[in-house]
């Protein structure tokens, strides 16, 4: 099992959970009042603009992950899928809920319009839920997407997740959402409340998942 890294100078730059309760995550003061900031600036949009799915940075991490797993991505259509696959988070009120799960449809539709139905299904397959719905194995894009979490800077990731407010949803789904299958760890209750423990736990789970499934994933269309 993964171990918590000893404290060092880098941890001074890790945001605290208090910081993660950003302005976007605060409840309105009055009961029944509407959170207008979240209504007009939803978490999916924030994720793309400055959060976990930062529109210019996350695709580059996915490309790096692909390079590590399958070799350098020479097909320009792959690069298009890296930049388009998460575009559907724009305007979504949640990340892992019913609306968030549908984020794959926009990028897949664009890929299908540009390059045909095989590329549409390939892009849809970056979601394990959609791949199952299509009766397919998850695509290699799914593996690169998951592995990018393992490769990128933990500090930069956590700051983006906290600033956008999406970290609160991820932590809430820690044991009851789609990553609940991670199972028990050796962390104490105190450690499990820590952002570093959460990130280390998820990174190790995704690392194991990708190593086990990368060779089984549906490859990109040829021709």
Distance between CA 196 and CA 5 in Å, rounded?
8
Q: Is 76 exposed, middle or buried (0-12, 13-18, 19+ CB in 10 A)?
A: exposed
For residue 199, give both structure tokens. 């990130």
Q: Pick the closest to residue 24 from 10, 8, 41 (CA basis).
A: 41
Closest CA to 149 of 110, 91, 207: 207
Q: Is the dihedral of CA 30, 23, 62, 16 positive or negative?
A: negative
Q: 218: which strand partners?
A: 139
Q: pLDDT tens, 177-216?
A: 555 544 444 444 454 457 888 899 999 999 999 999 999 9
Mean pLDDT for the chain overall: 83
3-class secondary structure, 139:
strand
Q: Is the per-residue pLDDT at 176 higher than 80?
A: no
**What is the pLDDT at residue 132?**
87
Would you say residue 48 has pLDDT above 50?
yes
User: What pLDDT does residue 133 have?
Assistant: 83
pLDDT confidence of residue 193: 55
Q: On the CB side of 222, how many CA atoms lie within 13 Å of its CA?
A: 2
CB 120 within 8 A of CB 77: no
State how far the Cα of 112 lies from the Cα of 81, in Å rounded to an integer.
10
Helix (H, G, I), strand (E, B) or coil at 218: strand
């Amino acid at each position: 099992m993964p171990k918590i890294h000893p404290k060092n100078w880098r941890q001074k730059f890790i945001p605290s959970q208090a910081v993660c309760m950003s302005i976007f995550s605060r409840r309105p003061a009055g009961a029944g009042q509407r959170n207008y900031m979240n209504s007009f600036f939803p978490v999916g949009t924030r994720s793309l603009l400055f959060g976990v799915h930062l529109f210019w940075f996350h695709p580059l991490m996915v490309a790096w992950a692909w390079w590590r797993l399958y070799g350098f991505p020479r097909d320009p259509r792959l690069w298009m899928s890296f930049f388009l696959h998460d575009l559907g988070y724009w305007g979504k009120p949640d990340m892992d809920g019913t609306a968030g799960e549908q984020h794959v449809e926009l990028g897949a539709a664009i890929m299908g319009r540009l390059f045909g139905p095989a590329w549409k299904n390939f892009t849809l397959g970056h979601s394990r839920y959609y791949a199952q719905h299509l009766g397919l194995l998850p695509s290699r894009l799914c593996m690169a997407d998951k592995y990018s979490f393992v490769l990128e800077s933990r500090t930069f990731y956590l700051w983006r997740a906290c600033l956008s407010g999406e970290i609160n949803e991820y932590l809430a789904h820690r044991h009851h959402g789609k990553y609940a299958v991670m199972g028990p760890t050796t962390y104490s209750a105190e450690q499990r409340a820590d952002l570093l423990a959460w990130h280390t736990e998820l990174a190790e789970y995704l690392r194991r998942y990708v190593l086990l499934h990368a060779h089984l994933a549906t490859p990109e269309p040829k021709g």
